Structure 1
């Protein structure tokens, strides 16, 4: 009761009440800031992990010892291993893509429709066009940022240039082909939307010469030397069988963190061919380690806001103790113990911390759950790009609140608030009632 009366403002005590109110606001701002920043950083990590592992596998398998012509059998064998969700094979190459007067480097991936459907993130991200009858279209799918860079839309032609073309007496000549844009996808990640070009598997094998021509069983090779007229492609197909190759395979597992166990299973599978495996942690180790370090540093730095608010609790309580010295003396003469005086001022300071912490939690959760809406509103109001996607990789500001981290922030704020009350409360308990009332 007494602690509550000390918290309520009276006219002559307005200044102390203002200090206590500002201290409460400081605690609330510190708690809210910590919750919002940690939620946004969690959102960044989760969204980046979802995008990266939604397109690239948890393992990338590269063939060794022989050409990757048995990719279908290899994928079927890998998908039978316990813990493997699915696997896809693809043809990949680096090219120069040219559109309406603009050119840029790109990465071409050749995949058939069966494998595209396994990549749900990609298959469901078609902003224009669609992946239906993909194998028969002979067109390409590109990210919307790459389409903007090249100045193309659906149906426009994109010229793809590969320096490793046909061999001539004067060396290698660039291979140049044009393909219509059938799909424009939006993955929500700048790096992928501005880099990848998808192509049906067989045209990709043709373009990158990822096939071998093998003499059919029981057939004799056609006569060597000049033929007049030369054999057509249809005639050559009577003698030779074309066997396509893949560049690599992506393997998706059930538990992304179970890398060591799954690597052992994949490498020890007797039915699988020899493969070199690289996992997602190896490919992105530096990036995600930097994110983790940044989270720890930001938490430590922003915790200083709560610490400053705790010092404000100390200063406001010391001022309150000085102002209430005569009240303390009267209470002592009426029989109040030193412990009772300590409890009064501890409850006063802790109440400031509790109200500030609860207000900060409510404010932080509201802001964190509407982070993208607030970012867009501020960007439109100020006319400035806040969190530009070119810098932060993602086209929107993600937020993911972790209940455990919120609990840690609340415990930190309440703990510091309680500790901040101990010294002023102890000083109040040490007041000598005779000295305090001597000049009253």
Structure 2
């Protein structure tokens, strides 16, 4: 007698039943692997890896996965590079601006600064103060061999103080400070020297509107000085517009005999300027008015911070878009692997196991993309000067115009905390992107998936 219909059909398998009741020896083996120690078992890692390997019949899934991987890589690399350049740009500007301009500016109140030498000595004795520099400043019109004139800021400084300004004294590219020390010469920037066709030993003519007073009015003061040395700070604005003159000569040239216009104070820690303010005021021992570097450059550095935060937000969207590609690739993968998921369920794999398999598959793309992106970003930051020189050679022009961006070279300074934040952001977005397709795979009904197989 032929077996009845009921005897021919297999008993339904409870997907959530223990593995020893799954009905087959293979199911028991799978369950034992599924119960391995650790958040992800060897069985789950094997299945996730097999799903990620490209196959010919799943070309569309593989292409989307590769696009997701490349997107995460480029997004992470771009974030690291841009943040490093922004940090380097701020640090280099801060170093150059504060290397030439004091951290605290002291101006006289009630009477001229005729005791500048004594005040500077007392302030220099404050613990944590590097140097106090009396200055004479004035605007002039400078002209050289090329004939064309340009506006320049003349700063009168003592020779011993100029030696302490390492941003100048350690960046002499032509000439020496010997003539300057004797009071017979001036220092000019490299870009000013090139624009005027000057070299060390040539003469530069300075015209000051604050000249001699005559019965017919004030006549401009015109005087020619030899160029003792040429410096190059690497900041185009300073290299093209600053002239250093011996202090006593500057007093005579700007009609400031016996006085200093201001005193610039350089301290060890610019960020601790508030703590030094009362100490400097006490050491000055006279009425003074103080302005620190943050007040003088507040708008400039605030704009840099806003630009840096905006760039981080914009490039984070690039990583987010790449993470959305992970969702697309996993949804296509779930659709392609519906039959395989159903078979795994009938063999005893739990919903949580399927969930972890697809989370691993999606997060794996994010982990690999993040790792390669970090490596790419670090390599670019380490070799950014060579890349700049190659781009200049390939394009035949300056890709980094120092007249616009202040600095002559692209700076890059990586911050470990920011790099770690980029890594966490990328991994978090990759994990969140993998959850939705993984939950869809875990909820797949094996009966419905195998109905028409």
| Pair 1:289 & 2:302 matched | yes
> Which residue, 336, 339, 359 being the options, matches 2:372?
359
| Pair 1:189 & 2:239 matched | no
| Pair 1:114 & 2:160 matched | yes
Alignment partner, residue 28 of structure 1: 73
Alignment partner, residue 391 of structure 2: 378
Alignment partner, residue 48 of structure 2: 3
Structure 1 stretch displaced more, 305-314 or 94-103 = 94-103
**Is the Cα–Cα contact under 8 Å of residues 154 and 183 in structure 1 kept in the other structure?**
yes
Alignment partner, residue 239 of structure 1: none
CA distance in 2, matches of 1:72, 1:310: 64
| Pair 1:259 & 2:273 matched | yes
> Which residue, 193, 215, 219 being the options, matches 1:169?
215
**Is the Cα–Cα contact under 8 Å of residues 38 and 295 in structure 1 kept in the other structure?**
yes
Alignment partner, residue 73 of structure 1: 118
| Pair 1:155 & 2:201 matched | yes
Tell me the secondary structure at the aligned position of residue 257 of structure 1: helix
**Is the Cα–Cα contact under 8 Å of residues 183 and 249 in structure 2 kept in the other structure?**
no
CA distance in 1, matches of 2:55, 2:207: 80
| Pair 1:272 & 2:285 matched | yes
TM-score, normalised with respect to structure 2: 0.88
Which contiguous aligned blocks of 4+ residues in structure 1 show a shift greater than 6 angstroms? none
CA distance in 2, matches of 1:266, 1:139: 33
**Is the Cα–Cα contact under 8 Å of residues 68 and 246 in structure 1 kept in the other structure?**
yes
Cα distance, 1:164 vs. partner?
1.6
Cα distance, 1:112 vs. partner?
1.9
Deviations 1:109-155 (A, max 9, x none): 11121000110111011110011353215111100111122222211
CA distance in 2, matches of 1:338, 1:154: 80
CA distance in 2, matches of 1:190, 1:11: 57
CA distance in 1, matches of 2:293, 2:247: 24
**Is the Cα–Cα contact under 8 Å of residues 113 and 133 in structure 1 kept in the other structure?**
no
Deviations 1:312-362 (A, max 9, x none): 000000000000000010011111111010001000000000000000000
Structure 1 stretch displaced more, 428-437 or 66-75 = 66-75
CA distance in 2, matches of 1:296, 1:422: 29
CA distance in 1, matches of 2:177, 2:223: 21
Cα distance, 1:277 vs. partner?
0.8
**Is the Cα–Cα contact under 8 Å of residues 200 and 230 in structure 2 kept in the other structure?**
yes
Structure 1 stretch displaced more, 147-156 or 415-424 = 147-156
CA distance in 2, matches of 1:401, 1:166: 54
| Pair 1:245 & 2:245 matched | no
CA distance in 1, matches of 2:154, 2:117: 20
**Is the Cα–Cα contact under 8 Å of residues 180 and 187 in structure 2 kept in the other structure?**
no
| Pair 1:178 & 2:178 matched | no
Cα distance, 1:85 vs. partner?
2.1
Alignment partner, residue 251 of structure 2: 205
CA distance in 2, matches of 1:45, 1:169: 51
Runs of 5+ in structure 2 lacking a partner? 1-45
Alignment partner, residue 129 of structure 2: 84
Q: How many residues align?
A: 407
> Which residue, 381, 403, 426 being the options, matches 1:413?
426
Alignment partner, residue 17 of structure 1: 62
Deviations 1:370-413 (A, max 9, x none): 11211121121012321200100001111000011000000000
| Pair 1:427 & 2:437 matched | no
- Residue 84 to residue 137, structure 1, CA distance change in 2 (3 Å): closer
User: What aligned pairs does 1:281-320 form with structure 2 within 5 A after superposition?
Assistant: 281-320=294-333
**Is the Cα–Cα contact under 8 Å of residues 135 and 201 in structure 1 kept in the other structure?**
no
| Pair 1:404 & 2:417 matched | yes
Cα distance, 1:78 vs. partner?
0.6
RMSD: 1.1
CA distance in 2, matches of 1:176, 1:344: 82
> Which residue, 24, 38, 48 being the options, matches 2:93?
48
Tell me the secondary structure at the aligned position of residue 85 of structure 1: strand
**Is the Cα–Cα contact under 8 Å of residues 179 and 228 in structure 2 kept in the other structure?**
no
Structure 1 stretch displaced more, 152-161 or 387-396 = 152-161
Cα distance, 1:106 vs. partner?
0.6
Structure 1 stretch displaced more, 411-420 or 199-208 = 199-208
